[in-house]
């Protein structure tokens, strides 16, 4: 029997997020890069799988996925990852994150017997993925890494979280085809707040295509040119999951389109997503309509 084939397999923990906004309003919602990323790619019509780890008692979190149930691969974990996010301003750009519990790391044996064009590492905490897992997947297909999981650490004595540079970045970059950071993460890794210069430096270390998100735009650098596209969300109620939505849309579109078209679709997709809380739940037709209405000046 032949293996299932996917455009991308997205690997990461699905969380229960306890979110508190700047006014003190509290809501519990499922989150995690694997959830937002799979929803984004699925909305655009791509065939994607999600690989996650959960404690048995938290199996109801799987209901938050928008992809078909047969494309969700859940592995038992002693604990699940649970987060608390306190936002300090309406734009949700600044927040304090606390890790309440941490899921088990992924291993080479956790990858199901499926085939994928892209292996997308959508983790949350340093330690989610050992280096040998990334290297193994680079033998199977293109590797995409969101560096949040390489920079964000959790001190489980009190749940406090902090960012520090990725010690293995220069060893691991040559295994990565698609690298995603936000502006703050790019500065941690490169020492510069200039996003163009940061992208060029990250590319010089071995990543083929570097994508950097910012609250005003998304930037891509492939070693030859720098491409940008503006974010045009009309409100920020769905700000959580911005980078995850963007990255998954971009890399899956790149299977069939050039950088400019892929970036346009990624930026329009995240702009639409940011207008509604939760993972994106729409069709490619809705995104095409959004491009028609708000990005007509960006189309070729």
Portion of the chain with pLDDT greater than 70, in percent: 98
| More confident site: 105 or 277 | 105
192-205 in b/e burial notation, b at 16+ Cβ within 10 A?
eeebeebbbbbbeb
Residue 222 pLDDT > 70: yes
| pLDDT tens per residue across span 120-164 | 999 999 999 999 999 999 999 999 999 999 999 999 899 999 999
Closest CA to 146 of 262, 265, 247, 216: 247
Residue 236 pLDDT > 70: yes
Which residues, in sequence order, are CB contacts of 158 under 8 Å at separation 6+? none
Residue 41 has φ and ψ, to the nearest 5°, of -65, -40
pLDDT given at position 95: 78
Residue 246 pLDDT > 60: yes
Residue 300 pLDDT > 70: no
pLDDT given at position 241: 86
Residue 299 pLDDT > 80: no
Q: Rounded mean pLDDT of 252-266? A: 97
pLDDT given at position 298: 87
| Number of neighbouring beta carbons within 10 Å of residue 299 | 10
- CA dist 15 and 30 (Å) reads 6
- Which tokens go with 44? 């655009």
pLDDT given at position 285: 97
Average pLDDT along the chain = 94
pLDDT given at position 208: 98
Q: Rounded mean pLDDT of 95-112? A: 92
| More confident site: 279 or 94 | 279
pLDDT given at position 235: 85
| pLDDT tens per residue across span 162-215 | 999 999 999 999 999 999 999 999 999 999 999 999 999 999 999 999 999 998
Q: Rounded mean pLDDT of 88-104? A: 84
Q: Rounded mean pLDDT of 25-54? A: 95
pLDDT given at position 1: 54
Residue 91 pLDDT > 80: no
């Amino acid at each position: 029997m032949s293996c299932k084939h996917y455009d991308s397999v997205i690997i990461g923990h699905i969380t229960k997020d306890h979110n508190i906004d700047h006014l003190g309003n509290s809501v519990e919602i499922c989150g995690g890069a694997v959830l937002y990323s799979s929803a984004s790619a699925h909305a655009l019509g791509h065939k994607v799988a999600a690989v996650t780890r959960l404690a048995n008692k938290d199996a109801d979190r799987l209901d938050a996925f928008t992809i078909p149930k047969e494309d969700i691969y859940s592995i038992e974990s002693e604990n699940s990852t649970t987060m608390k996010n306190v936002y300090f301003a309406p734009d949700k750009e600044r927040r304090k994150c606390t890790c309440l519990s941490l899921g088990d790391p992924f291993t080479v044996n956790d990858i199901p017997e499926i085939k994928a064009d892209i292996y997308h590492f959508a983790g949350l905490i340093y330690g989610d993925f050992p280096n040998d897992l990334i290297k193994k997947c680079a033998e199977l297909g293109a590797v995409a890494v969101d560096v949040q999981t390489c920079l964000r650490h959790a001190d489980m004595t009190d749940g406090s979280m902090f960012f520090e540079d990725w010690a293995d970045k220069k060893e691991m970059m040559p295994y990565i085809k698609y690298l995603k950071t936000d502006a703050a993460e790019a500065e941690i890794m490169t020492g510069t707040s200039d996003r163009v210069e940061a992208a060029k430096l990250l590319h010089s270390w071995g990543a083929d295509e570097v994508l950097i998100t910012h609250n005003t735009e998304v930037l891509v650098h492939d070693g030859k040119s720098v491409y940008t596209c503006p974010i045009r969300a009309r409100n920020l109620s769905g700000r959580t999951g911005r980078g995850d939505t963007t990255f998954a849309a971009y890399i899956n579109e790149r299977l069939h389109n050039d950088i400019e078209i892929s970036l346009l679709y990624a930026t329009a997709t995240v702009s639409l997503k940011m207008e509604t809380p939760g993972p994106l739940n729409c069709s490619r037709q809705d995104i095409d309509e959004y491009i028609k209405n708000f990005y007509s000046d960006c189309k070729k």
